[in-house]
Amino acid sequence: MTPETIEQAMLALAEADPDIARALPLVGAPSPRERDRGFATFFSTIVSQQISTEAARAIMGRVNTLLPELHAKAVMEVESQALRDAGLSWRKIEYAKGLAEAELAGTFSADGLEHLSDEEVITAITALRGFGRWSAEIYLMFSLKRPDVFPADDLALRVALGRLKGMDDKPTPKQARQLVEHWAPWRSVGSLFLWHYYRGEPL
């Protein structure tokens, strides 16, 4: 998503939702966010689960030294102990080997996801061990650049949406999805705006 696309989407969202129209001049439009696509991104997603960004970066640095070519065959061939020494937990090693196995067996194709619909991508990713709907939706948004995704399981998104809508508490994932239905076809940009609003909301 380019800055121009985001600008166009924010105008449409402000027109569709008076709460966005009120908040947009206060915090401004969000910046684009992108991630690489492919097997290595899925591997790093496993690494980064439930640890800090700094810790994940350090572990990925050691993994990249261990495996300069980070692809399924290399992950299957490397000793599990070497991955453990790089900083992965045994559970994450299990997920990483499972990802590599699925890729090699052809039951999952990281590169083939771009040809699937949003729901098909979510189904394919969540079939892997260690990946939930949130991980799949983040991949859709930032790696595949799909414009109409709302990862309602994201806590910060729901807190920000509750604030934006003047609610006493954050909405449930189901309520959140209902609250942003009218943001289609720009729910990805709406999500970016909520993360931006969460960090930059004026007191």
Copy the structure tokens of residue 46.
């496993």
- How far apart (Å, rounded) are the C-alpha atoms in residues 2 and 25? 20
Whether 154 sits among the annotated catalytic residues: the reply is: yes
| Separation CA 150–CA 136 (nearest Å) | 11
| CA nearest to 118, candidates 184, 192, 176 | 184
Q: Which of 29, 6, 23 is nearest to 164 (CA)?
A: 23
CA distance 169 to 99: 37
Give the distance from CA 17 to its chain's centroid: 24
Q: Which of 85, 118, 148, 154 is catalytic?
A: 154
- Looking at residue 171, what DSSP letter applies? P
- Asked if residue 202 lies in contact with residue 195, where contact means CB atoms within 8 angstroms, the answer is no
**Rg of the chain in Å (alpha carbons):** 19
Residue pair 1/32 in contact (Cβ under 8 Å)? The answer is yes
Which residues carry out catalysis?
A: 154
